[in-house]
């Protein structure tokens, strides 16, 4: 056996190390390990147990992540396959839904601009 340390490379650099403690899945966790964001494990807030808003599977990742890794890349593939016109239409519909939500559900502003300093 050699006492030499491995040569630094992109494959074994500290930036690519994964904190194994964050990848231990408890027995109660359902879902597929492919849903975990292993890239988040080296960050302080990267080992949280989350539930995907899209597929409802449990996953491990940053505490502010809303969807699992598998759904993220599935959605990205769909978005990348869309034409520019389809993307523009989708964004326009999304904006209209958001405006409609705040117009109908907001008890405070009812679709009007409100100066938050008035509170």
Q: Is residue 9 very low, low, confident or very high in pLDDT (cuts 50, 70, 90)?
A: very low
Q: Stretch 13-37: mean pLDDT, rounded?
A: 66
Tell me: the pLDDT tens digits for 93-105?
999 998 888 777 7
- Which residue ranges make up each domain of the chain? 10-81, 83-119
Nearest to 56 by CA among 42, 76, 44, 71: 71
In sign, the C-alpha dihedral spanning 40, 42, 46, 52 is positive
Q: Stretch 41-57: mean pLDDT, rounded?
A: 84
| Residue 104, pLDDT score | 76
Of the two residues 113 and 62, the one the predictor is more confident about is 62
- C-alpha atoms less than 13 angstroms from C-alpha of 24 in its C-beta half-sphere: 4
pTM recorded for the entire structure: 0.60
């Amino acid at each position: 056996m050699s006492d030499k340390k491995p040569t630094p490379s992109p494959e074994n650099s500290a930036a690519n190390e994964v904190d194994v403690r964050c990848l231990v899945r408890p027995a109660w966790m359902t879902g597929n390990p492919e849903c975990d964001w292993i890239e988040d494990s080296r960050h302080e807030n990267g080992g949280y147990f989350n539930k995907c808003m899209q597929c409802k599977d449990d996953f491990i990742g940053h505490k502010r992540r809303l969807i699992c890794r598998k759904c993220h890349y599935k959605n990205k593939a769909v978005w990348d396959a869309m034409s520019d016109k389809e993307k523009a239409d989708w964004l326009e519909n999304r904006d209209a839904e958001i405006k409609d939500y705040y117009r109908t559900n907001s008890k405070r502003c009812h679709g009007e601009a409100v100066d938050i300093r008035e509170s």
